[in-house]
Chains A and B, each alone.
Chain A
Amino acid sequence: MNFDGIHDRLRVIQAPGLLGADLPRAAIPGAKHGESKDAGRGGDAFVLVDPQKIVPFLHVCRDEDRLRFDVLVDLSATDPKAEDPNLWININLLSVERRQRLAIKALLPKADLKMPSSTAIYRAAQWHERECAEMFGITFVGHPDPRHVLLPDDWVGYPLRKDYVFPKEYHGISCE
């Protein structure tokens, strides 16, 4: 089953929160990068999902017979631009049984960075969400252990956000 097959299957079973799919597409001839015309998109195909319904969606992906994505490989976020109103949540699933991947993307508005935690579905999400929370300031509601994982507990700001201001000093240590 290719990506289209997975997407069709998700639509047929009416996976909760499924918003659509985004496939790589060729650039419009003559369009230059950075101009308003569509410059195309390379890379992987992914499904778009409502972040608030991510838990039932992942549940379907894991337990539905013809999907069986039993491993959560990666969960992270991306801040596309400082002025962009959304963060992207990028989730990558893997089916060991069927040797397949599924890329999931969810748009989370920066105004309200809250989404449910997927830890109950995949234990692997726990540490990834901790990292994601400290780096982007996302609150994962229902996370069992919402401590920092890589940064010190008293770190100010969310370093992987594009509007992050680098600190001048940390506990008397100059950072300049």
Chain B
Amino acid sequence: MSAEPQGSMTLEEQARVLPTGEREFFLDVHTTDLEVNFGPQHPATHGVMRILMRADGEVITGAQPHLGYLHRCAEKIGENVEWLQYLPYTDRYDYLAAMNNNLGYSMAVEALMPGLELPRRAHMIRTICAELNRIGSHLIAFGTYGLDIGAFTPFFYAFREREWMMALFEKICGARLTYSYIRIGGVFNDAPPGWLEEVGRFCDVFEEKWKEYVDLLVMNQIFVKRTADVGVIPKEMALDFGLTGPMLRGSGVDFDLRRDMPYSLYGEMLKDNAFDVIVGKGEKGTLGDCWDRTYCRVYEMMESIKIVRWCLERIEPGPVLGDIPKVLRIPPGEAYVGIENPRGELGHYVASDGGKVATRVRVRGPSFTNVSVLEDLLPGALIADAIAIIGSTDVVIGETDR
């Protein structure tokens, strides 16, 4: 942007005298296209992603996400290690929701094992862990999103509760971030004594704290003004881009794999009406804006608490691991299993030729497709809104790049 006086005239000479006697300066603002390199090291990209933005003044005219900075060949590794050995690699794609990744991969492999019956307690513990992890993941999404657009405090609140959640996971499997706990055939070992009771206490405390989040950030006027009507994804666009999870529900599409294609225990929960699916309604602005997406995430946490409580009421002692040999040989076949990850549909396509090693492990990460929408969403937005829009996709780079 430049404001140079034209020709040899000075600014004073260019000024127009208004009827009131005041002088009005006309600054003929020339703007040129400017290429802005956003990232790869930028806190708002939540990892290492580069977005090459073209801006005309304050308005973005083009955006090109560049991925691959965190590419770790997960799919190639899947073809070179044994079925069970691959499990720890699944932790690393969406490192904020590792339990869900373990679950997705295990379910995909189990789909190729006919006659494998999982103990009921294994299903229960799996569901509890996956939902607790969903809460933890949404807490990060909500906390860092506030941080991205200038609200510092909610971040610390979110991390306080997440710390407890991670301590719970540490008690059950020894790890805080990369669990490898849910494995093919069930879960690695049983919950330690008193663990389930502590999860119950966590639910009670979290319910109270959750109300604070809603007051503090979601319904906060400043936050609403910053996110409502920003980055609107219409329903058709969301479907065309293959968005899933809160990104899709934020656009008003009532679809959740847990309810609409139930797996594990979710079908049973539906009979009890144990949980609802949160769908954006365009309450504070246009349907499908950044606020709606945040709303979906934050309110989903409460639904996860309901699911955990449902499991806690019904869990009974028993075995937690099915009859699984030390070295797995998976019968020939191919299966695609998609589960509802915190960020959307995590799909695993696994193919086996009957050996100890997979023919193909394809990972369909939700963040990958969710980021692709930026190419069309950012142009037309203001530079100042770019962070709000990128943050609202809740991208985890470990998953886009795999």
Contacts and interface: CB of A to CB of B under 8 A. Distances in A.
B241 A124 contact: yes
Contacts of A159: 73, 76
Given A33-B331, A96-B239, 6 more contacts: A33-B355, A44-B334, A81-B359, A90-B334, A99-B255, A101-B261
B372 A42 contact: no
B266 to A, nearest CB: 13
Contacts of B332: 33, 39-42
Q: Taking each of A41, A81, A162, which has the highest tally of chain B beta carbons within 10 Å of its own beta carbon?
A: A41
B333 A42 contact: yes
Interface stretch (A13-21, A49-57, A72-80, A107-115): A72-80
Nearest to B113: A42
Contact of A126 (B349, B360, B362, B372): B372
A124 B240 contact: yes
B347 A43 contact: no
Nearest to A80: B359
Interface string B246-271: 00100001010000110000000000
Interface residues of B, number: 48
Given A159-B76, A160-B75, A70 B334 contact: no
A150 B335 contact: no
B335 A42 contact: yes
B300 interface: no
A43 B401 CA distance: 27
A48 interface: no
Contact of A122 (B242, B253, B353, B364): B242
A150 B359 contact: no
A61 to B, nearest CB: 13
Q: How large is the interface on A (under 10, 10 to 19, 20 to 34, 35 or more residues)?
A: 35 or more
8 contacts: A24-B333, A73-B242, A73-B345, A78-B351, A122-B240, A149-B68, A152-B68, A159-B76
B76 A151 contact: no
B368 A127 contact: yes
B312 interface: no
Contacts of B209: none
Interface of B: 67-68, 71, 73, 75-76, 79, 111-114, 239-242, 244, 248, 253, 255, 260-261, 329, 331-336, 338, 345, 347, 349-355, 359-360, 362, 364, 368-369, 372, 376, 401-402
B334 A43 contact: yes
A149 B67 contact: yes
Contacts of B331: 27, 33, 39-40, 42
Given A72-B242, A150-B68, A42 B362 contact: no
B76 A160 contact: yes
Given A92-B349, A96-B239, A78 B68 contact: no
A34 interface: yes
B75 A124 contact: no
B360 A78 contact: yes
A26 to B, nearest CB: 8
B338 A43 contact: no
B347 A92 contact: yes
Contacts of B350: 43
A94 B113 CA distance: 24
B3 to A, nearest CB: 37
A79 B361 CA distance: 11
Given A33-B329, A33-B332, A124-B240, A43 B354 contact: no
A33 B354 contact: yes
Contacts of B79: 160, 162
A31 B169 CA distance: 44
Interface in A133-167: 135, 148-152, 159-160, 162
A123 interface: yes
A73 B253 CA distance: 15
A43 B253 CA distance: 29
Task: Give the 4 A-B CB pairs with smallest separation, nearest first.
Answer: A124-B242, A33-B354, A42-B333, A43-B335
Contacts of A150: 67-68, 71, 401-402
B75 A73 contact: no
Contacts of B345: 73
A22 to B, nearest CB: 9
A148 B347 contact: no
B351 A80 contact: yes
